Amino acid sequence: MAMAPGEAPEVLDPPSRRTRIRAILDGGKAQAGRRVVVGGWVRAGREQGHGAPDPFAFLDVNDGSCQGNLQLFVKGEVVGYPLARLTATGTSVFVEGVVRRDERAKHGVELAVTRVLEVGEVDAAAYPLPKTKTGHSLDPAYIRDFVHLRARTYLISAVFRIRSELSFATEKYFRDEGFLHVHTPILTTSDCEGAGEMFQVTTLFSQAQKLEAELKENPAPTQADIDAAKIVAKEKGDTVAQLKSAQATKQEISTAISDLKKAKQDVLTMEERSKLKPGIPRREDGSVAFEKDFFKCPAYLTVSGQLHLETLACALGDVYTFGPTFRAEHSHTSRHLAEFWMVEAEFAFANLQDDMNCAETYVQYLCKWLLDHCQEEMEFMVKSHDKDAMERLKLVSSTPFKRISYTQAVEILKDADRKFDNKVEWGIDLAAEHERYLTEVVFKKPVIVFNYPKGIKAFYMRLNDDEKRVAAMDVLVPKVGELIGGSQREERLDVLEQRILDAGLPLERYDKYMDLRRYGSVRHSGFGMGLERMILFATGLDNIKDVIAFPRYPGRADL
């Protein structure tokens, strides 16, 4: 906006624009002499010369932009209060200073602070995250109890930067491949997987609670109350009749009729309120009256955007979506979450071979992206958690995946020189131990298993000619096991209808889905990848709860 004549420009103090620590450290000694404003959190602080006329402090500060810390040099005379207020781990500082060379600093530079603009102090005795040596990581299980603070640790901040890069790489890969990014709904009426492990979304409980509170404050009328109201209405009717008989004025009759209408309405209202009962509304047969719910039918949080993606792929060609999905599976394993993020792709005029090709190149792209853009974070993972993490990324990014049929996989597992906890026989769903044996022991690289038994796969997967297997595929990787699941979709209407019935699902719920087979049916395929599993694979971490900001699992949904 233009300034009025003679008006002085407004000066922001402190400066509103800060320099990211990553930019300073990446620039190294070339940044010397530059005046900058920096904000971050103290990971370690130490005061020297306490009690002397000229005390000073060193602060290792991190702002989340990179793995490394920037060393701040602060003189006591600059702050004008005890330096101990700055040195506690977790303290936030917003400072202005000059970058200067310092060979003793890890990155060869430090910031000589000339002004402390803001300080967010910490009660060091109560702060739950202890001071650690540079690069040292706290136990993931310990910091899991401090989900609101754990992003300040070396481990979780590195994980989130890796997660950010994987998200960006996903967008870039599919855009470069010509896919259209679409947004599928979180609320759905369809059970895509047919497993029934879904979170139901309803307003019936809140409605019931509201009604219960209302009836407590204003109880429903009794039959005696209704009878009394009917007597009043009858009297009002008699009054109208009398006035008409007496040829009263038009105004008098109009007023009496208005009173009668109100009395009749009061009776109707009371009769309706008398039917109100606390609790979930039910039909005469005892079933839940979902017609009184928000959507007038049962609704759920989505377990997958696939069914919606198929409708869009059959009009737009190649599409993908990237968002949260939900499973009401009562599992406490290290590989399960109730809420997680899925990358799902769907492409028209594609068969199972096309599906496997796309899934393979996508995973390889992600691995190479991390090697090129997350070097510091991956080196930290190698040093603190998994010495093979970088080598695993290099292997997967540059090596063609092995492809075997499900039948071949079972034969290999049967001949294995080890005993598995889960019995191996044709028809089982491969367990993580089976998947890891194939990738880590037998082939020592990613494996794509295809043509699974129809009994262990979803109804929408294309039935093979033998009518025993479906055109499904799973991408298995070392450390994690299954990373991607996908299939060629069933495009034949009669076969799809029978598969839905065989799964025990109501045909009417999938009528619009079957329209894709009625109107211009097309061969199409797709796959889905859980982002959290990709992060587990990349980092070598053991628990999926450590690769998402706010993990949701049975008994835990705080913050």
Per-residue confidence (pLDDT) for residue 373, from 0 to 100: 97
- Are 451 and 407 in contact, with CB atoms under 8 Å apart? yes
> Would the CA dihedral through 431, 552, 170, 488 be positive or negative?
positive
What is the residue type of 420? Answer: F
Average pLDDT over residues 291-320: 94
Distance CA 454, CA 438 (A): 22
Query: Tokens 């109730």 sit at which residue?
Result: 338
Distance CA 425, CA 232 (A): 79
Average pLDDT over residues 127-133: 81
Q: DSSP class of residue 463?
A: B
Distance CA 46, CA 60 (A): 9
**Is the pLDDT score of 351 beyond 80?**
yes
Worst-scoring range by mean pLDDT, 167-176, 275-284, 335-344?
275-284
Per-residue confidence (pLDDT) for residue 24, from 0 to 100: 94
Distance CA 371, CA 369 (A): 5
- Are 464 and 471 in contact, with CB atoms under 8 Å apart? yes
**Is the pLDDT score of 8 beyond 60?**
no
Radius of gyration of the chain (CA): 33
Average pLDDT over residues 444-468: 96
Average pLDDT over residues 21-28: 92
> 185: alpha, beta or left, given left = phi > 0 and alpha = psi -120 to 50?
beta
Distance CA 353, CA 154 (A): 41
**Is the pLDDT score of 400 beyond 70?**
yes
Distance CA 103, CA 89 (A): 24
Q: What are phi and psi of 418, to 5 degrees?
A: -145, 160
Distance CA 502, CA 506 (A): 10
Distance CA 343, CA 168 (A): 12
- Are 451 and 471 in contact, with CB atoms under 8 Å apart? yes
Domain extent listing, the chain = 21-127, 157-201+298-546, 204-292
- Are 300 and 201 in contact, with CB atoms under 8 Å apart? yes
**Is the pLDDT score of 2 beyond 80?**
no
Distance of CA 268 to the CA centre of its chain: 49
**Confidence at 16, pLDDT banded by 50, 70, 90:** low
Average pLDDT over residues 344-365: 98
Distance CA 392, CA 539 (A): 10
Q: Looking at domain 157-201+298-546, does it have CATH number 3.30.930.10?
A: yes
**Confidence at 193, pLDDT banded by 50, 70, 90:** low
CATH fold of 21-127, please?
A: OB fold (Dihydrolipoamide Acetyltransferase, E2P) (2.40.50)
What angle is formed at CA 211 by the lines to CA 205 and CA 215, rounded to 5 degrees?
Answer: 150
Per-residue confidence (pLDDT) for residue 52, from 0 to 100: 74
**Is the pLDDT score of 9 beyond 60?**
no
**Confidence at 17, pLDDT banded by 50, 70, 90:** confident
- The H-or-E segment that residue 255 falls in is helix 250-274
What is the residue type of 189? Answer: T
Contacts of 444 (CB under 8 A, 6+ apart): 478
